[in-house]
Amino acid sequence: MSLRTRSTVVGIVVVLMALLAFPNLFSEEERLGSFWIADDALSLGLDLQGGIHWLLRIDDEKALLQEATRTQSVIKRLAEDEGVELAASNLRDGAIIELEGDLAALRRLVDENLDNVEVDEEAGKLLVSLTDDWRESVVERGVQQALEVLNERIDGLGVREPVIAPQGAGRILVQMPGEIDPRQARTILEETTFLEFKKVLTSEPNEELLRARYGGVGLPEDTEIVLDQNEDGSVAEAFLVPTVPILTGAMLEDARIGYDRRNRALVSFTWNSEGTRLFREFTGESIGERLAAIIDGKVVTAPVIQSRIGRNGQITGGFTVAEAAALAVALRSGALPIPLVIEEERSIGPALGADSIRQGVRSILLGGALVILFMGMYYSVGGWFANITLVINIVMIIGAMSLARATLTLPGIAGLVLTVGMAVDANVIIFERIREELRSAKNLRNAIQAGFRRSQLTILDANVTTLIAAVVLLQFGRGPVQGFGVTLAIGIVASVFGALVVTRLLFDLAMAYRPQLVRL
Ranking 72-76, 132-136, 243-247, 438-442 by mean pLDDT, the lowest is 438-442
CB 109 within 8 A of CB 78: yes
Q: Which whole number is the average pLDDT over 93-99? A: 84
pLDDT at 9 over 70: yes
* 380: phi then psi, degrees, rounded to nearest 5: 55, -130
454-507: pLDDT as tens digits: 888 888 888 888 889 888 887 777 666 777 787 888 888 888 888 888 888 888
CA angle 227, 228, 230 (to 5 degrees): 130
pLDDT band for 77, please (50, 70, 90 cuts).
confident
**pLDDT tens string 394-436:** 888 888 887 776 677 777 777 777 777 777 888 888 888 888 8
263 pLDDT tier (thresholds 50, 70, 90) = confident
| C-alpha dihedral (300, 302, 308, 313), degrees to nearest 10 | -10
Q: Is the pLDDT assigned to residue 337 strictly greater than 80? A: no
Tell me the average pLDDT across 44-70.
80
- pLDDT tens, residue by residue, 208-232: 888 888 876 778 888 888 888 887 7
In the chain, what are the domains? 3-50+349-513 (1.20.1640.10), 60-135 (3.30.1240), 141-344 (3.30.1360.200)
Which pLDDT belongs to residue 27? 45
More confident residue, 490 or 306: 490
More reliable by pLDDT, 119 or 157: 119
**What does the pLDDT read at residue 235?**
86
Helix (H/G/I), strand (E/B), else coil: 404: coil
Assign 3-class secondary structure to 367-401: HHHHHHHHHHHHHHHHHHHHHHHHHHHHHHHHHHH
Q: What is the pLDDT of residue 30?
A: 40
Burial class (CB in 10 A: 0-12, 13-18, 19+), 133: exposed
Q: Is the pLDDT of residue 105 over 60?
A: yes
Selection from 253-262, 286-295, 306-315 with the highest mean pLDDT: 286-295
DSSP one-letter string for 98-144? EEEE-HHHHHHHHHHH-SSEEEEEETTEEEEEE-HHHHHHHHHHHHH
C-alpha dihedral sign at 210, 212, 215, 217:
positive
Q: Is 60 exceeded by the pLDDT of residue 24?
A: no
The kind and range of the H/E element at 361 are helix 350-403
* Residues 113-118: contacts with CB under 8 Å, at least 24 apart: 113/74, 113/78, 114/71, 114/74, 114/75, 117/71
pLDDT interval class at 52 (50, 70, 90) = confident
pLDDT greater at residue 439 or residue 46: 439
The residue type at 58: I
> Is pLDDT at 3 greater than 70 in this prediction?
yes
Q: With contact defined as beta carbons under 8 Å apart, do 515 and 508 qualify?
A: no
Question: Could you give the CA distance from residue 40 to residue 37 in angstroms, rounded to a whole number?
Answer: 9
% of the chain beyond a pLDDT of 90: 1
Of residues 344, 341, 340, the one with CA closest to residue 53: 344
Cβ–Cβ under 8 Å, residues 300 and 255: no
pLDDT category, 239, cuts 50, 70, 90?
Answer: very high
Q: Between residues 518 and 248, which one has the greater pLDDT?
A: 248
Q: Please, what is the average pLDDT of the chain?
A: 79
pLDDT over threshold 60, residue 520? no
Angle at 217 between CA 215 and CA 221, to 5 degrees: 105
Range with the largest mean pLDDT of 177-181, 193-197, 367-371, 511-515: 367-371
What are the beta bridge partners of residue 239? 203, 226
Checking if the pLDDT of 28 tops 60, the result is: no
Dist CA 53 CA 39 (whole Å): 26
The C-alpha atoms of residue 250 and residue 463 are separated, in whole angstroms, by: 48
β pairing state of 43-44 and 312-319: unpaired
Burial per residue of 448-466, b for 16 or more beta-carbon CB atoms within 10 angstroms, e otherwise: bbbbbeebbeebeebbeeb
Mean pLDDT of 14-23: 80
Among 78-87, 120-129, 326-335, 338-347, the minimum mean pLDDT is found in 326-335
Q: Rounded mean pLDDT of 113-129?
A: 86
